[in-house]
Amino acid sequence: MKGTLYIVATPIGNLEDITLRALRILKEVDLIAAEDTRQTLKLLNHYEISKPLISYHRHNEEVKSDILIEKLNKGENIALVSDAGTPGICDPGEEIIKKSIKEEIPVIPIPGACAMINALIGSGLDTKEFEFMGFLPLNKKTRKEKLLEIKNSNKTIIIYEAPHKMKNTLEDLNEILENRKIVLARELTKIHEEFIRKDLKELIEEIDNIKGEMILIIEGRTKLEKEENSLNKMSLEEHYKYYENLGLDKKEIIKKIAKDRNVSKNEIYMKFTK
């Protein structure tokens, strides 16, 4: 019989944030695959759990997942944990989960802490519809596209960001957003947990003094913005200019306009090449 892969969520700061079920699974499995074995050892020691550990991180995901699949196929039960929170959410996990499903190995997620969910529910922004964007890309072009997506989204957006890159991200957001509510959630579940609700300009001024792990939650496009800035209300030339001002090239602009107006790229292309 095949073993089971358990995807176990662990705390994002406060060690009490682990479920009874997660602790039982960690005690019962044959092996724990951990993003950083030293980090996981601290958690296991705290709960007096002694288990063999194997490292499973971004740089060895491909190779290690094959080794783990072999063990699972032989009947071993394995728990996958990351350094903090839910594995697979901006953390390693996807590779082994996909391979396990392919091999018909049972995959059981064990729920628990996930920083983006905590940030969202504490933000006070709309939770009915939201989009998690993870970390914004560093590549200039894809970053610009993501920023445009944020600008045009009606949903609440959640972004993870490393503290030393936060200022740059806030500045990029400030260039494209007008009057949006924004919440910076920091040090969730820890002593200095805080939800900072300020406008972007104020946040930029203060960010050098704000420390710790952080998440940004951004309000979706407001009603007013929707009415005033509706791209489809612009003439085709204004619509083109709008994207041109954002630095997009002709091919990208045509693709975007076609998507916004729900028409074929060819139709837009013809209009600009006559």
CB of 128 to ligand SAM, least distance (A): 21
Between strands 194-197 and 156-161, the pairing is unpaired
By beta-carbon proximity to ligand SAM, the closer residue of 186 and 221 is 186
Window contacting ligand SAM (CB under 6 A); options: 21-29, 110-118, 145-153, 223-231: 110-118
Check residue 161 for interaction with ligand SAM (CB under 6 A): yes
Candidate residues 153, 189, 222, 229; the one interacting with ligand SAM per rule CB under 6 A: 189
Tell me the two tokens of residue 51.
């288990």
Cβ atoms of 158 and 217 closer than 8 Å = yes
* Cα 8 from Cα 24, distance rounded (Å): 11
CB of 214 to ligand SAM, least distance (A): 6
* Cα 7 from Cα 10, distance rounded (Å): 10
Candidate residues 186, 221, 239, 256; the one interacting with ligand SAM per rule CB under 6 A: 186
Window contacting ligand SAM (CB under 6 A); options: 42-50, 61-69, 181-189, 217-225: 181-189
Check residue 188 for interaction with ligand SAM (CB under 6 A): yes
Residues 71-90 that bind ligand SAM (CB under 6 A): 82, 84-86, 89-90
* Cα 20 from Cα 270, distance rounded (Å): 62
Residues 17-76 that bind ligand SAM (CB under 6 A): none
* Cα 258 from Cα 267, distance rounded (Å): 8
133 phi, psi to nearest 5 deg: -105, 0
* CB closest to ligand SAM, residue no: 85
CB of 83 to ligand SAM, least distance (A): 7
Check residue 214 for interaction with ligand SAM (CB under 6 A): yes
Cβ atoms of 246 and 144 closer than 8 Å = yes
Residues 224-263 that bind ligand SAM (CB under 6 A): none
Candidate residues 173, 215, 253, 268; the one interacting with ligand SAM per rule CB under 6 A: 215
CB of 80 to ligand SAM, least distance (A): 12
CB of 240 to ligand SAM, least distance (A): 36
Binding site for ligand SAM (CB under 6 A): 12-13, 82, 84-86, 89-91, 114-116, 160-162, 185-190, 213-215
